[in-house]
A and B are shown apart, each in its own frame.
Chain A
Amino acid sequence: MMALPRYLNILRAQMRISATTAMQYRFDFVLKGILALFWLAVSLVPLLVVFSRRPMLAGWTFPESLVVLGWFSLLKSILDGGVTPSLTSVVEGVRSGAFDFVLLKPADSQFLVSTARFDPWRILDLLGAVAIIVYAFGRLGRAPAPLHILIALALLFVSIAILYSFWILVVCASFWAVRVDNLTYLFGSLFDVGRWPVDVFRSAVLRVIFTAVFPIALMTTYPARALLGSLTTQTLGAVFLGGALIIASSRLVWLRAIRAYTSASS
């Protein structure tokens, strides 16, 4: 544990660099922030249209579905702000050969690439998502219990860890097949499934896929259920176990993959 303060220092330095870089593009910051809020509004449209026609959707009311959508946006903003930028730049680095310099640095390579870049303007996105959730609970006329918030936050932590692990696997794939950048788009478009409660999918096969294989239900529907107070403790246990498994295996794959890495020029 001697290494911990050192790694915290590195993290602080990396974050400062990201923040300074972002500050150079002030106009961009505002523009991207506005665009993020705009897309948040666009994502509300199908939900508004559905509920202008129906009081319930697959057993979910309007405010309850809003909680799911809000949680989806929250998770997406964290992913797009803290995870995706760093890992897209590794894929670029592998292609250009700049990744070699990361390997030469005297710190854990996975830590270095994972903290290389942050997008601070995603904060606006995050605030928008929180506003949606708060509004939804306002409509419900109650606040979530503190315990339920804690469970939801724990689930958020597990979801980010799982998404991060998936990303690490994608990056590892780039050591062998260099062009994987559109794999990341595929990933993003699959992620869109999480906008709505998983009960919307009427086929049982799809529901199993989105719960166990690509566990998007676990990342948005379950936390929303936790906030609403309708999640059982058994499911919670299973979620944590599954999450821990995925994280551990992605670390193992990274350690193996890094040994197999041959530079772009060799």
Chain B
Amino acid sequence: MIRHILRAYPTLLRVGLAELIAYRTEFLIWIFTTTMPFVNMALWTAVAADGPVGRFGAREFVTYFLGTFVTRIITGSWVVWELTMDIRQGALGARLLRPLHPLISYSAQHLAAVPLRALIVTPLLFLLSWLLGQHLNFTDPARLAILFAAFAGAWWLFFFTMVIIGTLALFVDSALSIFDLWLGIHSILSGYLVPLELMPPWVARIAQHLPFRYIMGYPVETLVGLNDIHSALIDLGIQWLYVAGFGLAALSLWRLGIKRFAAFGG
């Protein structure tokens, strides 16, 4: 089974990349629609003009929100829309006929976009490292390794969250509304709109333990050097525990729901 998947995966990745290149303009426009980090950057640098907020001065805000943009672009995917559409329109049937778990082909299709996404944000990464200057040693191999693992973890956590919500479309009609709700909560509790440490302490404390932060706030903090190596490592462990938990949940929910899909068609 595993060997089977390993053999199919590179091909699936190539197909995913080809699809992406076919729709390159769309892909670029999607990336340009991510303006929220920059709007927030403008807001907070205006605030910091009268003096720093906590340990955030103008420069910290600029790097933080550049970091949220980079993280959003690299770790983002759109599987929830694809999954709900496939379920509603019945295209899932074709995927089920293939001798491969649909979640695996979905994951390959979306993973294929990651190198291109990373390529697009590379100029911003150079800008970031220049802005951070001596504050952060980008070449420290330990931090680089943790950062890489944190991005990977964030990608999978986001992917599994989307799969879980998308699979709900097999049970209820309003899966996309649930995702909308999730996005709203996520934007507050993940550190996407506001760095978590600037939130009221009790919110920050709760958010520290919820999965949202491990999709956005934690990779950003690691990228712009707001945390030390020690706590970054502990958070990495928690993040991957969440990934494992969400992955299991996604698979079991899928198994439960897919029986209902048969009932739709039959």
Contact = CB atoms under 8 A, between A and B. Distances in A.
B33 A50 contact: no
B46 A57 contact: yes
Task: Classify the secondary structure of B's interface with A.
Answer: helix
Contacts of B33: 182, 185-186, 188-189
Given A182-B26, A182-B30, A185-B29, A192 B35 contact: yes
Contacts of A28: 174
Contact of B39 (A49, A57, A192): A192
Contact of A189 (B34, B44, B177, B199): B34
Interface residues of B, number: 32
Interface string B33-72: 1111001101111110110010000000000000000000
A251 to B, nearest CB: 27
A139 to B, nearest CB: 20
A182 to B, nearest CB: 4
A54 B47 contact: yes
Contact of A53 (B46, B53, B187): B53
Given A31-B177, A38-B184, A52-B200, A202 B34 contact: no
Nearest to B56: A53
A140 interface: no
A76 interface: no
6 contacts: A46-B43, A53-B53, A186-B29, A186-B32, A193-B39, A202-B49
Contact of B194 (A39, A49, A188, A195): A49
A54 B52 CA distance: 11
B188 A183 contact: no
Contacts of A45: 188, 193-194
Contacts of A49: 194, 198-200
A202 B45 contact: yes
Contact of B26 (A31, A179, A189): A179
Interface of A: 27-28, 31-32, 35, 38-39, 42, 45-46, 49-50, 52-54, 56-58, 179, 182-183, 185-186, 188-190, 192-193, 195-196, 199-202, 206
A193 B35 contact: yes
B1 interface: no
Nearest to A52: B200
A55 B55 CA distance: 19
- What 8 pairs across the A-B complex have the smallest Cβ distances? A189-B33, A189-B35, A182-B29, A200-B46, A42-B184, A185-B33, A58-B46, A49-B194
Given A45-B194, A49-B194, A35 B188 contact: no
Given A182-B26, A186-B29, A46 B46 contact: no
A53 B50 CA distance: 11
Contacts of B43: 46, 50, 57, 196, 200
Given A45-B193, A46-B43, A189-B34, 19 more contacts: A28-B174, A31-B177, A35-B177, A38-B184, A42-B193, A46-B193, A46-B194, A49-B198, A49-B200, A50-B44, A56-B50, A58-B46, A183-B29, A192-B35, A192-B39, A193-B35, A199-B46, A202-B42, A202-B49
B180 interface: yes
A178 to B, nearest CB: 12
A83 B50 CA distance: 40
A195 B45 CA distance: 16
Contacts of B44: 50
Nearest to A25: B173
B140 to A, nearest CB: 32
B42 A200 contact: yes
Contacts of B34: 189
